[in-house]
Amino acid sequence: MTRRETAVLAALMTAVAAVFLLSLAMGSTSIPLGRVVKALLHPSEDGDPLAMVITSIRLPRSVTAMLAGAALGIAGLQMQTLFRNPLADPFALGISSGASLGVALVVLGSGYGPAGAFGTSLGMRGDALITAAAIVGAALVLGLVLIVSSHIANPATVLILGLMFGYAVTAIVTVLVGASQPERLQQWAQWGFGSFSGVTWQRLQLFGPLILAGVLIASSTTKQLNALLLGENYARSMGLAVRRVRFLTMLGASILGAMVTAFCGPITFLGIAVPHVCRGLLGSSDHRVLVPAVVLLGAAVALIAQIVSLMPGGGVVLPLNAVTSLMGAPVVVAVLLRSRRGAFAG
């Protein structure tokens, strides 16, 4: 690692730690950092309402934000490298549209819809049902895309295929939205805003390990991703089993994207932006340093977005999606204009 790479990674690590503490301290009521640290170190001391707020509300929320940010960053990086396209993101294959369809079927049709009835019969309610619906929807679309794409040689065609699937599925969702009652639309819109608050400790027991597994898989393919930087033809000539790696990468990145969407709603922008900023900061396209960097920066950005969305005080919560985009777009533009060294800037 060069000195610059070491410095960037160290700075990112510090930033994540700082923002993590800050995210626990800030919220509807500010809690002094000292008490935050105390509550973290001695979580068993009950009776303190502030400690309760930290450990049972803010801590799972912040952990969720970090996991989601890391997952989206790494999945975005995988997709951008695989498709050699700067606009690719974790949802490039229509994953989030699939999840939306699942959620729309449940939310807009619950009570009498077949999906809602099926879920209710399993004893699933509310958030759990929405999550399950999102996972099923995403899995169906991903399965279709993977099956069709296994017959396609050109990666750009696969990307277009995913886009088309996304459009088609979104159209179905639009039809559902158009036909539904206004009071149900509120809940639907709420899901579309995105939120890290819905993931409790209990749900983290599923979300956490899944995301960690995805991140570990992605970390173990850095060598393959590096070979893909020269394009699929060269990668193959250097000994890469291109079809297999493409399949695994698409699967891994899509699962990460789908899990985040299922548990937190469709979080846009982060997955595109974080890899670009990391390339700019590091001045390198080497995935051995890029992967840890996107994990750290993704976590930090998600935490910051979480803090900002709660900032205005007085109970108003900004939609998370609005925050990530408004906050991130100028940063990305600045980084790209200044450095001109992203992997695709030429």
Partner 1 sequence: MMATTAPGVGMPFDAALRTRDLAVGYRMRRTRRAVLEHVNLAVDSGELVCLLGPNGIGKSTLLRTIARMQPALWGSVELGGADLRSVSHAELARRLGVVLTERVAVEALTVRQVVGLGRYTYSGWFGGLTDRDRAAVDWAIDAVGARHLVERDFSRLSDGERQRVMIARALAQEPVLLVLDEPTAFLDVPSRVELMGLLRQLTRERPLAVVVSTHDLELALRTADVIWLVMPGGELVTGAPEDVVLSGGIGQAFEGRQIRFHPEERSFRLLTGSGGDAAVHGSGLRAALAAAVLEREGYTVVTASAAAPTVSVHADEAGWRLWTDQGECSGADFASLADYLRGRSMQS
Residues of this chain that interact with partner 1 (CB under 8 A) are 84, 220, 222-223, 226-227, 229-231, 233-234, 236-241, 279, 282-286, 288, 341-346
Contacts with 127 (C-beta within 8 Å, 6 or more apart), sequence order: 198, 203
Q: Which is nearer to partner 1, 67 or 343 (CB)?
A: 343
Q: Which is nearer to partner 1, 153 or 171 (CB)?
A: 153
How many CB atoms lie under 10 A from the CB of residue 121?
8
- Residue 312: Cβ-neighbour burial (10 angstroms; 0-12, 13-18, 19+): exposed
Q: Which is nearer to partner 1, 246 or 279 (CB)?
A: 279
CA–CA separation, 153 and 32 (whole Å): 57
Burial track 205-244 (b if 16+ CB lie within 10 A, e otherwise): eebbebbeebbebbeebbebbbbbeeebeebeeeebebee
Please give the full DSSP string across 271-300, using - where no structure is assigned. Answer: HHHHHHHHHHHHT---HHHHHHHHHHHHHH
CA–CA separation, 336 and 86 (whole Å): 11
Q: Which is nearer to partner 1, 204 or 343 (CB)?
A: 343
CA–CA separation, 341 and 230 (whole Å): 16
Residue (of 253, 264, 274, 247) closest to 208 by Cα position? 264
Supply the minimum distance, in Å, between the C-beta of residue 256 and partner 1: 20
Supply the minimum distance, in Å, between the C-beta of residue 158 and partner 1: 18
Q: Which is nearer to partner 1, 42 or 223 (CB)?
A: 223
Supply the minimum distance, in Å, between the C-beta of residue 73 and partner 1: 17
Supply the minimum distance, in Å, between the C-beta of residue 343 and partner 1: 5
Supply the minimum distance, in Å, between the C-beta of residue 285 and partner 1: 4
Contacts with 54 (C-beta within 8 Å, 6 or more apart), sequence order: 24, 31, 35, 36, 39, 40
Q: Which is nearer to partner 1, 58 or 279 (CB)?
A: 279
CA–CA separation, 193 and 320 (whole Å): 6
Q: Which is nearer to partner 1, 5 or 195 (CB)?
A: 5
Supply the minimum distance, in Å, between the C-beta of residue 290 and partner 1: 10
Supply the minimum distance, in Å, between the C-beta of residue 62 and partner 1: 30
